Amino acid sequence: MIQKKGPVVLIDIDVDEVFKKALSMSRVDILDEIKKSGLKGRGGAGFPTETKWNLAGTASDDKKYVVCNADEGEPGTFKDRVLLSDYTDDLLAGMTIAGYVIGSTQGIIYLRCEYIYLYKHINNKIEERRKKNLLGKNILGKDGFNFDIYIQPGAGAYVCGEETALIESLEGHRGEPRNRPPYPTVVGYLGKPTIINNVETFITAMRIIDKGAEWFTKYGTDKSTGTKLFSISGDCRAPGIYELPMGITVKELLATVGGEDAKAVQVGGASGSCITRNEFNLTLAYEDISTGGSIIIFGEKRNMLDIAINFMEFFVEESCGQCTPCRYGTETLLEGLYMLKNKKCSIKYLKELLQLGETMQTASKCGLGQSAPNAFISILKNFKHEILCS
């Protein structure tokens, strides 16, 4: 449920007009505008969008792909679901423009299986756009610009939100992340240059093309421009989706959503970290705490150990099992949490586990493994006393 519409993403724009405008611009101009806007990936990793598009754009392959990562699996995130159902046209137009910029003819929406009920709706929208020649051959009479989009459903694997795992999945393999480099912008889907962006990134890019980089950079901070959608859940009065400027403090956010009494906040979902009251002055921005927008609020009465267990169970289930640190590390950490729960864990072993967590953060193959111990480490560091005393 949308609780607060901001000035950038959740506004109504005339999609067709913006689309026409974009196609009348040169590729370089669009890239330039995006570059000036400082737009970074809204999935959470914060890679500069312009750089990604530019890399794929300069590759000379005959075939390139634009992939929309609609595999929103991060616990506590639900903004993409709303965007996919309410801002479908914006997304499809955004992908088409990205295709125009990088010289691609094919867009793919990787839709998570849990959102399969949105398939028909999105497909209808694609069909409508085809009829209006907003997709297809020589789009809007622009000679030689062909672009089409299809939806490929996932089959239930959180790790497929990782871009190289997503490509593996698209290619019909187990969703196991690839080694990087090479990056998908060079060797992506079917070995071709591929850009993979979050739903919100494509939609935000549309707004930047409409209103300009200068307008966009009015919001947010120097390094984290614009606004961002936050998915708020947990112990607060008004959970839901909020569009807020980047760089607001956790404290401000809590005040906005009615979660002032929070004991702790999990920023960035299961793969993010858990911060406590004395860190509530930190800002939600790429330079401080980077997030895909998941904010889970924990009230005074919550048992933090149970929360850590829930997160760790999540990772044990969702680890792809390919690399050693993640495959067995997640399981070992979870076992340690059960030991704590049963009051059977020595401080010595706990220290070993925290060290193991650090190894997982640096030695795992992909982002999932690298972030799997975040919640464990932050909760145990911040709530050691509570956990050992309870």
Partner 1 sequence: MLEAEKDQLKNEILHLAGAYNNHRSGLLPVLLHIQQKYRYISRYAMQEIADIFRIHPVEVYGVVSFYSFLSTEKKGKFIIYLCQTISCDMAGKRAVARQLENELNIKFGETTPDGLFTLKYTNCLGACDKGPALLVNEDLYTKVTPEGVFDIIQSYRAKFGAHVTMEI
Partner 2 sequence: MSDKHSKATTEERAPLSQRKFRIKELEDTEAIGAMVKITIDGNEIRVPYGTTILEAAKKLNIHIPTLCYHEDLCVAGICRICVVEIEGQRLLQAACTYPVTPPHIKVKTYSPRVRKARRHILDLMLRHHYGECYSCVRNKNCELQTLADEYGVDFYRFGHLDKPEKPMDRSSYSVVRDMTKCILCRRCVRTCIDLQEVGVLEAINRGPHTNVVTFMDMPLSDVICINCGQCINRCPVGALHANDPSDDIWASIDDPKKHVIIQTAPSPRAAIGECFGLPPGTSVTKQLNTAIRRCGFSKVFDTNFAADLTIMEEATELLLRLKKALVDGDKNVKLPQFTSCSPGWVKYLEHFYPEFTGHLSSCKSPQQMFGALIKTWYAEKVGINPEDIVSVALMPCSAKKFECNRPEMRSSGLKDVDYGLTSRELAQMIKEAGIDLPNLPPSDFDDPVGEASGAGLIFGVSGGVMEAALRSAVEIVTGIKTEDIFKDLEITPVRGFEGIKYYEIPVTRTVPVPDILKNALKDVETFDFLKGTILKVAVAHGTANAHKVMENIKTGGKFSECHFIEFMACPGGCLGGGGQPIPTSPEIRAARAKAIYDEDKSLSLRKSHENPHITDIYKEFLKEGPCGHLSHKLLHTHYVKRGNKIV
What is the Cα–Cα distance from 390 to 388, expressed in whole angstroms?
6
- Residue in 234, 272, 293, 336 binding partner 1, rule: CB under 8 A: 234
Site string for partner 1, 166-185 (x = CB under 8 A): ---xxxxxxx----------
What is the Cα–Cα distance from 277 to 8, expressed in whole angstroms?
30
* Cα dihedral: 172, 173, 175, 179 (round 10): -120
Q: What does the chain come to in residues?
A: 390
* Residue 78 C-beta: closest distance to partner 1, Å: 4
Considering only the stretches 8-16, 34-42, 127-135, 149-157, report the one whose residues sit in contact with partner 1 under the rule CB under 8 A. 149-157
Q: Closest Cα partner for 69 from 49, 318, 243, 57?
A: 49
Q: Residues interacting with partner 2, by CB under 8 A? A: 60, 157, 159, 164, 167-168, 171, 173-174, 176-179, 181-182, 186-187, 191, 315-325, 327-332, 335, 352, 355-356, 358-359, 362-365, 370
* Residue 375 C-beta: closest distance to partner 2, Å: 16
Site string for partner 1, 317-346 (x = CB under 8 A): xx-x--------------------------
What is the Cα–Cα distance from 262 to 277, expressed in whole angstroms?
8
* Residue 335 C-beta: closest distance to partner 1, Å: 19
Phi, psi of 273 (to 5 degrees): -125, 165
291 near partner 1, rule: CB under 8 A = no
Q: State CA 6 to chain mean position distance.
A: 19
266 near partner 1, rule: CB under 8 A = yes
Tokens 């995130």, residue located: 77
Which of 302, 341 has the CB closer to partner 1? 302
76 near partner 1, rule: CB under 8 A = yes
Angle at 202 between CA 198 and CA 208, to 5 degrees: 135
152 near partner 1, rule: CB under 8 A = yes
What is the Cα–Cα distance from 97 to 112, expressed in whole angstroms?
23
What is the Cα–Cα distance from 10 to 33, expressed in whole angstroms?
20
Which residues form the interface with partner 1 (CB under 8 A)? 1, 72-78, 80-81, 113-117, 152-158, 169-175, 190, 231-235, 239-241, 266, 270, 294, 296, 298, 302, 307, 310-311, 313-314, 317-318, 320
